[in-house]
Structure 1
Amino acid sequence: MTLLSVNLNAVAQLRNRRDLPWPSVVGLARVVLDAGASGVTVHPRPDERHIRRTDVYDLAALLETEYPEAEFNIEGYPSDDFFHLIDAVNPQQVTLVPDEPGQTTSDHGWDFRGKGNFLTSVVQRLKADGRRISLFCDPDAGLDGVTAAKATGADRIELYTGPYGGCYNDPDRAEYELAALAETARAAHAVGLGVNAGHDLTLANLPAFQAAVPGVDEASIGHGITADALLMGFDAAVRAYRAVLGS
């Protein structure tokens, strides 16, 4: 069984097109959690082009008061501002990504060997309150990469599935990407790391991913589920993704 965490960035980005409070990030968080999502994910960026700091505080309050069993996963680069935000809301999971501030979206994992000392200090800092720490990981990191990731003290990796998601019209390339993801996931499990996954996963490509990469703990899905929700509604979209994930 793979748990579903719904990434709400696309909802916030749609809201931010106007100086208006809808669609409501908190309101749709309620919808996805009522539909059985295990939690919600946000990736606040310095320019607040989608998730705002106020959203993070509002969601933390929602989960604490109405959904105490749900998980809050906050993604981001470990800047001083990010540390302050994590300390303020204390999410159950922190996913560290190596993004530059102006990146449109995450597009690569950490260099675990080259950034090992840096990541070790960051992981130690963030795990002070018993939080789970996940590190964004390239699909072809392999045994050497995940061994270095494990050495930082992290609990999980999050497989970057963007290259696989981009193969929607190239089945041969998709098979290649799935093989790389499967190898890295096996290596992560072998060294004692949990495995999350996220980026461009959809109802169409999830079944093959689930078959090729067993043992994924959690999938964080935002763009695809939001696109499907435009057609079927968020409640139905969440239930459809949960069915594919077996959760």
Structure 2
Amino acid sequence: MPAKLSVNLNAIAMLRNRRDLPWPSVAGLGRIALSSGASGLTVHPRPDQRHIRFSDLPVIRALIDDEFPQAEFNIEGYPTDEFFDLCAAAEPEQVTLVPDDPAQATSDHGWDFRRHGDLLGEVIAKYKKIGCRVSLFADGDGDVEAVAIAKATGADRIELYTGPYGGFYDQPERAAPILEALGKTADAALAAGLAINAGHDLTVANLPPLMKRIPKLAEVSIGHGLTADALEYGMAETVRRFRRACGQTV
């Protein structure tokens, strides 16, 4: 089964926020992505609203509900009370919990499940009560014991942090062992009953090897590389290119 593609809109929002103008349109480009076969839209509303604004959430929710009811809304964030309130109002199909400091430029590591397992268990129960599937950002370092703890929190999925893999885009010999560690983590998660998502610095070039090593990958969330390609190919064609890289028939 090919992986589903969720288009992360953060980079588009960051470009919009350079001016006090409504373009590029976050919802408009989300519409093009979904019309071109993307399975969902992802956002990460940070407390300083430096890219996705809180006011974007109801607009994206309405876009999906009114025009693409088969699509999913995935909201990423650190589980503060404010973030929970945003999710309760936006009713995303999936919440991806990340261990980010609010000042971080971008997500760059997974949860320390040994340290935060109890906290995550309490938090996840809250999100389950409002009907969200919960995914936990995880380091794909092959730590099988950590995966077991992640499962014990009540999470439905883990999202493999693929930044180190994507960082060696021009050094395949260095990317290979990282890919194998991601695969080992995925194997353990699948054996434990967790579904697998992946995200960060994924591209048309490095997705097929990832899919080959993790053929049961459920979903990839892609923003930066996809947005960069969209500047060259347009959003519609870029989504089709990434869908093909995920193994989908387009």
TM range (shorter): over 0.9
Corresponding residue for residue 58 of structure 1: 59
Q: Which residue of 2 aligns with 1:197?
A: 198
Deviations 1:84-133 (A, max 9, x none): 00110110000000000010000000011110110000000110033110
Residue equivalent to 1:155: 156
**Contact between 1:75 and 1:97, CA under 8 Å: does it hold in 2?**
yes
What is the identity, as a one-letter code, of the residue corresponding to 2:243?
Answer: R
Partner of 2:180: 179
Match of 1:9 in 2: 10
Gaps of 5+ in 2: none
Q: 1:29 Cα deviation (Å)?
A: 0.7
1:129-156: CA deviation from partner (whole Å, max 9, x where unpaired): 3311000000115210110000000000
Partner of 1:116: 117
Q: Could you say what secondary structure the match of 2:113 adopts?
A: coil
Q: Distance in 2 between matches of 1:209 and 1:69?
A: 26
Question: What is the one-letter code of the residue matched to 2:191?
Answer: A
AA aligned to 1:41 is T
Task: Judge conservation of contact 1:188–1:195 (CA < 8 Å) in 2.
Answer: yes
Q: Which amino acid aligns with 2:36?
A: A
* Structure 1 residues 72-151: aligned runs within 5 Å: 72-151=73-152
What CA deviation, in whole Å up to 9, does each residue of 1:5-39 have, x standing for no partner? 00000000000011100000000010000000000
TM-score, structure 2 normalization = 0.97
2:11 match: secondary structure: helix
2-structure distance, mates of 1:218, 1:90: 19
Question: Aligned with 2:242: secondary structure?
Answer: helix
* Rounded Cα–Cα distance in structure 2 between residues aligned with 1:204 and 1:57: 34
**How far, CA to CA, are the matches of 1:167 and 1:103 in structure 2?**
21
Amino acid at match of 1:69: Q
Q: Quick check: 2:113–2:150 contact (8 Å CA) kept in 1?
A: yes
Q: Deviations over 1:187-215 (max 9, x none)?
A: 00000000000000001111111112221
Q: 1:169 deviation in Å?
A: 2.1
Contact 1:146–1:187 (Cα < 8 Å) also in 2: yes
Asked if the contact 1:197–1:219 (Cα under 8 Å) also holds between the matched residues in 2, the reply is: yes
1:168 is displaced (CA, Å) by: 1.2
- Paired residue for 1:69? 70
Using the size of structure 1 for normalisation, the TM-score is 0.98
| In structure 2, C-alpha distance between the alignment counterparts of 1:207 and 1:218, rounded to whole Å | 13
What is the distance in 1 between the residues matched to 2:63 and 2:116? 35
Equivalence for 1:237: 238
Mapped contact 1:178–1:213 kept (Cα < 8 A): no
Runs (4+) off by over 6 Å:
none
**Inter-partner Cα distance in structure 2 for 1:115 and 1:5:** 27
CA-based RMSD of the aligned residues comes to: 0.8
Flag the 1:141–1:82 CA change in 2: closer, same or farther, 3 A. farther
Q: Which moved more, 1:126-135 or 1:7-16?
A: 126-135
Extract unaligned runs of 5+ from structure 1. none
Contact 2:208 2:247 in 1 (8 A): no
Name the amino acid aligned to 2:46. Answer: R
Paired residue total: 247
Amino acid at match of 2:16: R
Q: Kindly provide the amino acid, as one letter, of the partner of residue 211 in structure 2.
A: Q
Residue 66 of structure 2 aligns with an amino acid whose one-letter code is T
Quick one: structure 1 residues 114 and 141, their matched pair in 2 at CA, closer, same or farther if it must change by over 3 Å?
farther
